[in-house]
Structure 1
Amino acid sequence: MRWNWTQTGWPQFIYDDAQLKPLETRFLLSSGEVIGAVHHISDEERNLLRIELLSEEAVKTSEIEGEMLDRLSVQSSLRRQFGLDTDNRPIKPQERGIAEMMVDVYDSWSGPLDHATLFRWHGMLMTGNHHIGTIGGYRTHDDAMQIVSGRLDNPTVHFEAPPSREVPAEMAVYLEWFNRSAPKGAIPLPALTRAGIGHLYFESIHPFEDGNGRLGRALAEKSLAQNIGQPSLIALAYTIEHGRKVYYDQLERNQRTLDITDWLVYFAETILEAQQTTLKRVAFYIGKARFYDRFRGQFNERQEKAISRMFREGPASFKGGLSAENYISISRTSRATATRDLHDLVEKGALTRSGERRHTRYALNLLAINGTE
């Protein structure tokens, strides 16, 4: 099996930039929409939005790798990192670590990439990890670095990265490429092209014992931020997680060739989808902030609990809407009380109602709050 890094010409990737040009144009237009949406909100709403989007990305980029984190704990840690008021919620080391890394990526987006930055991110990401030998440094073990699945006695090898002894030299070339391809570098590349190459290139070197996927997605965020001139806050990990199998299939297929047009088109389309998700989330979180401003102090404890739970579901909310049974389960109250509470929420304009009898469903009324109704 000839992996990409074993082929003549590595790491000079080949691609058809004509297929990417219309996608690059769409990216720049959508970037303007995202930037414009964020600039039209208050500083307080912007802080809330930043915490919400970064926490969602932190949770999803970990979920892609099979690690499940508590989103509220990640949010609490992010608030501390940004110097905002927070609760005393207990935070596990890995939740604190990913929050620290996300804030560092956010704050250092404009700076050049170097070994120290990657080591710092890896150290944060691996906080509390006692199962790997090298934290905050490139791998040094003699065993082959392989991506495998299946039975231990008969595994399927999806990819094998360069030996550990070659990693420092490979990463020196990678860092030079990353910085030279930046907007102000010697060989600037368009945003989607650069992010796509950078992610596949990094994953192919696989320089760390663990955390390469999360770091590779962080590098895509940094790359995009440099091209648009500010942190992107793009829902990249969220979008990848929803199509995780396709993501891994594309990586595997394109780590066997230096002609990566298919990969770049796939990754570009994923980023464009992530932008649209971000726009929807911006509208949702702005609506959330204004919803609480409008209805502050008007809900009882049961209603507060149910509303909070509905917001935690995100823009998709409960599939088909909140039912009376959902409300009873969340608030742990009787049917009669649930009926009164829900009627009150509709009367106040906090919820909308649809359907009849057992098919009655309730949804958050964000349209009126956002002024689009």
Structure 2
Amino acid sequence: MYWFNETAPGNTDAINNPLIKSAITHLYFETIYPFEDGNGRIDRALAEKALHQGLRHATLISHSSRIEAKKNEYYNALKNGQCSNEISAWLDYFANTVYHAQLSAEKLINFTLQKVKFFDHYKEDLNERQVKVIKGMLAEGPAGFEGGMTAKKYIAITKASKARATRDLQALVELGVFLPQGGGRSVSYELVI
């Protein structure tokens, strides 16, 4: 904790680049590994605190989700960083991780804003079944709803009859909410947002 406080902005030993301080904080804490449980969570909190402290404002990133998505890459970079005083590769890895976490956060924020605008625009045009299906599709996040919506999925989600599901889906196409993919019995619908 002494090192963290002494390298804070404004101190004589300050590390003025918040990204570098965050990366070193993360590496040091993971190397020390002081607790039986919770080291990763505390470590990520300290690394994010170092970023916030150096930038003098909060950031909207979650580098833990990026680390989780590429665990093997993380553990290899961490192991290599812990084996030597030469940590340039670790700094590069960490900066890249934070950068991609920022891109993911921006994508999620934009997606959330699009959802709000979408429902504001179509709130008078959609029935309860359509809203339920669209909310389910949007719950999958920016990555999207795997395989698109099909009549079979629509019926399973809404418990609507085949005829009602077909009418609802056609209405969504006419509104420009759904874009049909393929044709015939294998048609699926992509949400346009």
TM-score normalised to structure 1 length: 0.48
Deviation at 1:193, TM superposition (A): 1.0
- In structure 2, the gaps of 5 or more residues are none
Query: What amino acid does structure 2 have at the position aligned with 1:184?
Result: G
Query: What amino acid does structure 2 have at the position aligned with 1:183?
Result: P
Deviation at 1:262, TM superposition (A): 1.4
Query: Which position in structure 2 is the counterpart of 1:201?
Result: 28
DSSP-derived class of the 2:143 partner = coil
Query: Which position in structure 2 is the counterpart of 1:301?
Result: 128
d(CA) in 2 for partners of 1:358, 1:224: 52
d(CA) in 2 for partners of 1:242, 1:324: 32
Query: Could you report, residue by residue, the CA deviation over 1:124-153 in whole angstroms, capped at 9, with x for unpaired residues?
Result: xxxxxxxxxxxxxxxxxxxxxxxxxxxxxx
* Equivalent runs, 1:1-373 vs 2, <5 Å: 175-186=1-12, 187-366=14-193
d(CA) in 2 for partners of 1:280, 1:196: 23
Aligned residues: 192
**What percentage of aligned pairs have identical amino acids?**
44
d(CA) in 2 for partners of 1:233, 1:190: 18
Deviation at 1:320, TM superposition (A): 4.2
Q: Which has the higher helix share?
A: 2
TM-score normalised to structure 2 length: 0.88
Measured at CA, do residues 228 and 352 of structure 1 come closer, stay the same or move farther in structure 2, by a change above 3 Å?
farther
DSSP-derived class of the 2:36 partner = coil
2:178–2:189 Cα contact (<8 Å) kept: yes
Deviation at 1:285, TM superposition (A): 0.8
d(CA) in 2 for partners of 1:365, 1:228: 37
d(CA) in 1 for partners of 2:21, 2:41: 18
Measured at CA, do residues 183 and 363 of structure 1 come closer, stay the same or move farther in structure 2, by a change above 3 Å?
farther
d(CA) in 2 for partners of 1:293, 1:212: 43
DSSP-derived class of the 1:352 partner = strand
d(CA) in 2 for partners of 1:250, 1:230: 28
Query: Could you report, residue by residue, the CA deviation over 1:319-346 in whole angstroms, capped at 9, with x for unpaired residues?
Result: 3433333323322333332221111222
Deviation at 1:268, TM superposition (A): 0.8
d(CA) in 1 for partners of 2:186, 2:6: 59
2:138–2:145 Cα contact (<8 Å) kept: no
d(CA) in 2 for partners of 1:341, 1:221: 46
Measured at CA, do residues 212 and 350 of structure 1 come closer, stay the same or move farther in structure 2, by a change above 3 Å?
same
> Considering only aligned residues, what root-mean-square deviation do their CA atoms show, in Å?
2.0
d(CA) in 2 for partners of 1:179, 1:185: 8
d(CA) in 2 for partners of 1:205, 1:227: 23
Select the structure with the greater relative contact order (CA < 8 A; seq sep ≥ 6): 1
